[in-house]
Amino acid sequence: MKNLKAIAIIAAAAATMCSCGPKDPGLKDAYKNYFKIGVAVTGRNIADSLTSEMILKEFNSITAENCMKPGELHPAPGVWNFEEADKIADFCRANGIKMRGHNLVWHSQFATWMFQAHDENGNPIVERDEKGDTVFVEQRVFGRRRPQGQPGQAPQFQPGQMPQFETVMVPKYVAASKEEFYDSLHAHINTVVNRYKDVIYCWDVVNEAMSDANNLEATYEESFRKSQAYQLCGDEFIKNAFIWAHEADPNAGLFYNDYSAWTPSKRTYIYNMVKKLQSEGAPITGIGMQGHYNIYDNPTLEDFETAIKMYLELVDDLQITEFDIRINEEAGGQLQFSRGEGQVYTEEIQAKQQQKYADLFEILRKYKNNISCVTFWNVNDSVSWLGANNFPLLFDKDNQRKAVYYTVRDFKNQK
Ligand code: GLA
């Protein structure tokens, strides 16, 4: 009797161990012999106990979704918003998880004050007309006309309604010289990289510098996005950003990161730019393919693999940095997308998404020796930047694993 009781206790203990052990691995466990599996998070995600529990079970690399971008972290000269970034970094430190830093230079969510001349008090200098009045100019801004949400609720889009660009009048500032811009950027990179270098193992040093021209005949100059940084400095700002990031943390992986990085045009632009700047001394050690894909031909498997092979001629380290697969035909990083209102996640669509995730992960596993991490962009469908109705991720709006989760995790059962 005593023995039976002991056996029952041992069996119960074994069963418990199994359910949290090998029988129910998280994504990070299933991929431990391949690459890290990461996720982009907000301060809110990690403050929620159920979500943070899920993050710790499934992922072993973390990217801050927004709060480490220059415009968020450093909105004005001498003004730093470290709070949310520090919270996420502390969460990672406490749980022994390393982070990807995102990002040091981007054309969007950037510290645009760096392009303005400042007086000795750090105030931007406005241009004045002959009467001494401030000169105003038009500026195109994104998203002001988003529908208003109820207090505490995210804005709800109506079917067919899209976020809009609009034109506003803003004061015209005296432009910074290239040297002033470089001084600000250098100091920014130095401060941020040093602050987090105990917990950040790689940085997206430059994000989205290449053009969407989709033209294989483009010249080297035409292959660049005509961002403010490019207009002021040409491709030199990219080289300098890498040099300054390396100077601040010689051990960090330093990535060039972009969307549509699989397309014949963009992969050629990226390849040529990285090759040239490396030859000029830019320490670019990794390329990040963002991966905002769809369930159709974006990307095609052949082009995706060709891009991987091309990049591996230049760097030893690749990552998918912002993985999601939406269910409509849009893709990439452009901001004017529909949020999938009214879209239904039918069995057919779900099967297509499962196939796409399975095919892409199969290719990624093949290159495991040179892929250090695959990061999902957001925790679940409801907090995806694409909206819950694009169903892009592995967890549903209630943080539950979707069927496609098992497709990705249990790949060993598929072949
Ligand atoms: C780009 C950026 C990300 C994020 C997404 C949209 O891909 O690199 O930081 O802003 O757009 O959420």
Q: What digits encode the pLDDT tens for the residues 246-277?
A: 999 999 999 999 999 999 999 999 999 999 99
Q: What average pLDDT does range 166-175 have in this prediction?
A: 88
What is the enclosing helix (H) or strand (E) of 293? strand 292-294
Whole-number Å distance between alpha carbons of 186 and 176: 14
Whole-number Å distance between alpha carbons of 312 and 108: 28
From the CB of 42, is ligand 1 less than 6 Å away? Answer: no
- Report percent pLDDT > 70 for the chain: 88
45 three-state secondary structure:
helix
CA distances from 65 to 118, 179, 238, 260, 378 (A): 30, 30, 22, 19, 8
Distance 333 CA to ligand 1 centre (A): 7
What number does the ligand 1 atom closest to the CA of 65 have?
9
Phi-psi region of 168 (alpha: psi -120 to 50; beta: other; left: phi over 0): beta
User: What's the mean pLDDT when you consider all of the chain?
Assistant: 90
Lowest-confidence region among 11-20, 160-169, 293-302, 331-340: 11-20
> Ligand 1 pocket: which of 66, 322, 323, 386 to mutate (most atoms <8 Å of CB)?
322
Residue 4 clears pLDDT 50, i.e. is over it: no
Whole-number Å distance between alpha carbons of 208 and 226: 11
Residue 402 clears pLDDT 60, i.e. is over it: yes
From the CB of 108, is ligand 1 less than 6 Å away? Answer: no
From the CB of 259, is ligand 1 less than 6 Å away? Answer: yes
For residue 329, the model assigns a pLDDT of: 87
**Which of 13 and 58 is assigned the larger pLDDT?**
58
Burial-class residue 69 by CB neighbours within 10 Å (0-12, 13-18, 19+). Answer: buried
Q: State in Å, rounded, how far the first CA of the chain is from the last one.
A: 46
CA distances from 63 to 41, 95, 213, 272 (A): 6, 14, 29, 27
For residue 213, the model assigns a pLDDT of: 94
For residue 12, the model assigns a pLDDT of: 43
Distance 359 CA to ligand 1 centre (A): 24
115 three-state secondary structure:
helix
Contact 143, 106 (CB under 8 A): no
Lowest-confidence region among 300-314, 333-347, 372-386: 333-347
Q: What average pLDDT does range 329-348 have in this prediction?
A: 82
Q: CB neighbours (10 Å) of residue 222?
A: 12
| Type of residue at 330 | E
Q: What average pLDDT does range 187-201 have in this prediction?
A: 98
Residue 175 clears pLDDT 80, i.e. is over it: yes
Whole-number Å distance between alpha carbons of 25 and 41: 21
Whole-number Å distance between alpha carbons of 292 and 384: 11
268 three-state secondary structure:
helix
Q: What band does 168 get if pLDDT is binned at 50, 70 and 90? A: confident
For residue 415, the model assigns a pLDDT of: 61
User: Which residues are bridge partners to 308 per DSSP?
Assistant: none
For residue 362, the model assigns a pLDDT of: 98
Q: The dihedral of CA 125, 131, 133, 136: what is its sign?
A: negative
Nearest to 103 by CA among 75, 60, 71: 71
From the CB of 323, is ligand 1 less than 6 Å away? Answer: no
| Type of residue at 385 | W
From the CB of 378, is ligand 1 less than 6 Å away? Answer: no
Q: What band does 15 get if pLDDT is binned at 50, 70 and 90? A: very low
What is the enclosing helix (H) or strand (E) of 317? strand 317-326
Residue 278 clears pLDDT 80, i.e. is over it: yes
Whole-number Å distance between alpha carbons of 373 and 31: 10
From the CB of 207, is ligand 1 less than 6 Å away? Answer: yes
Angle at 265 between CA 286 and CA 288, to 5 degrees: 20
Nearest to 246 by CA among 321, 186, 182: 186
Residue 245 clears pLDDT 60, i.e. is over it: yes
> Among the residues of 104-235, which ranges form H helices?
178-196, 228-233
From the CB of 321, is ligand 1 less than 6 Å away? Answer: no
Using CA positions, which residue lies closest to atom 11 of ligand 1?
333
Active site residues: 208, 322
Residue 8 clears pLDDT 50, i.e. is over it: no
> Ligand 1 pocket: which of 377, 378, 381 to mutate (most atoms <8 Å of CB)?
377
Q: What band does 372 get if pLDDT is binned at 50, 70 and 90? A: very high
69 contacts: CB under 8 Å, gap ≥ 6: 102, 103, 106, 109, 110
Q: What average pLDDT does range 28-45 have in this prediction?
A: 98
Nearest to 156 by CA among 396, 387, 395: 387
User: Which residues are bridge partners to 126 per DSSP?
Assistant: 173
- Report percent pLDDT > 90 for the chain: 80
Beta-strand relationship, 292-294 and 286-289:
unpaired
For residue 22, the model assigns a pLDDT of: 63
Using CA positions, which residue lies closest to atom 1 of ligand 1?
333
Using CA positions, which residue lies closest to atom 12 of ligand 1?
385
Burial-class residue 360 by CB neighbours within 10 Å (0-12, 13-18, 19+). Answer: buried
Q: The dihedral of CA 321, 259, 360, 363: what is its sign?
A: negative
Residue 153 clears pLDDT 50, i.e. is over it: no
The phi and psi torsions of 20 (rounded to 5 degrees) equal -105, -5
Tokens of 55: 């993050």
Q: What band does 2 get if pLDDT is binned at 50, 70 and 90? A: very low
Strand residue runs (E) in 162-265: 165-171, 200-207, 253-258
Lowest-confidence region among 6-10, 74-78, 120-124, 325-329: 6-10
Residue 148 clears pLDDT 50, i.e. is over it: no
Q: What band does 167 get if pLDDT is binned at 50, 70 and 90? A: confident
For residue 341, the model assigns a pLDDT of: 81
pTM: 0.89
Residue 149 clears pLDDT 90, i.e. is over it: no
